[in-house]
Structure 1
């Protein structure tokens, strides 16, 4: 993951920003833009986590962690895989687990396992959002982005500042550079997955 603290990224960004720090003239605005970039890059970064959910018959819906973005796999304690309900072939519906649904109640994501399941512990493997950056630890905290992708956060912030200051031409150029950096992040995540 990234090695440069937030303050270092801001300093680099101020040096790269030839538009007089247009639209991003405080550390708080830089941090806000970095966080927006991290949200935009969540699938590219591909941070993974797992949560165990003790299933109790009669209670079908369970709250997922706040950093939840997307389910990758769900397994029970017998290592039987559960699938999303829409992916289950109706012809085999009566021969296996019913599957799960993900919903959003306006505040949290929830996973619903359905009924007719014995007590078990589900392991939900999911892609998570990167941790939000704050100004309180600006000289210590580093973003959860591969080091090769740190520049993407800077480019995103500068482009956002330019758009906020009604400079779409320059913003478009920076956004293209951001997309090139995004590809580097995606490639790095792929290398990590396959061990290359």
Structure 2
């Protein structure tokens, strides 16, 4: 059962996994939306760089987690992101349709891996924002698969909007975790020093 007790080391891992990725997602989404007359090549470059950076950030942050459960899934999601970005950049003369499927696969696979990893975190504080962002990614990926005839403008609108929303959710989660205090820490107001256990509000 999920609780609100989150170990400090896990809180730090999740915070550094969500904040940089949230900022990157917002920058990617905004860049895609404001680029005047963006072409398939332009979106490919922007997505490729974003996806690889996002994946590397996920892997590096996840490796700091000492709990095998969430770490394994988060690393897998990061690797999937790097592979998707590399495929997009290495694919010569990629078409809008192929790029759409690459982005959709990235969103679905990395979102599913991230969601499973978030569910391994048995705390409400630790998992709700990350889980929400991952589920949004999966939904966006499914939408792209079901609407392959959107064209480059449609792809940009959906992907850009999705990235900004997911990025905002990740940033909110990171900010929330930044102000979070471990209830087992004696410096935490909720800690009962006499009893040696966290108190309840």
TM-score normalised per structure 2: 0.26
Which structure ranks higher in relative contact order (CA pairs < 8 Å, sequence separation ≥ 6)? Answer: 1
Q: Which has the larger radius of gyration?
A: 1
TM-score normalised per structure 1: 0.27
Q: Which has more helix, going by share of residues?
A: 2
Q: Which has more strand, going by share of residues?
A: 1
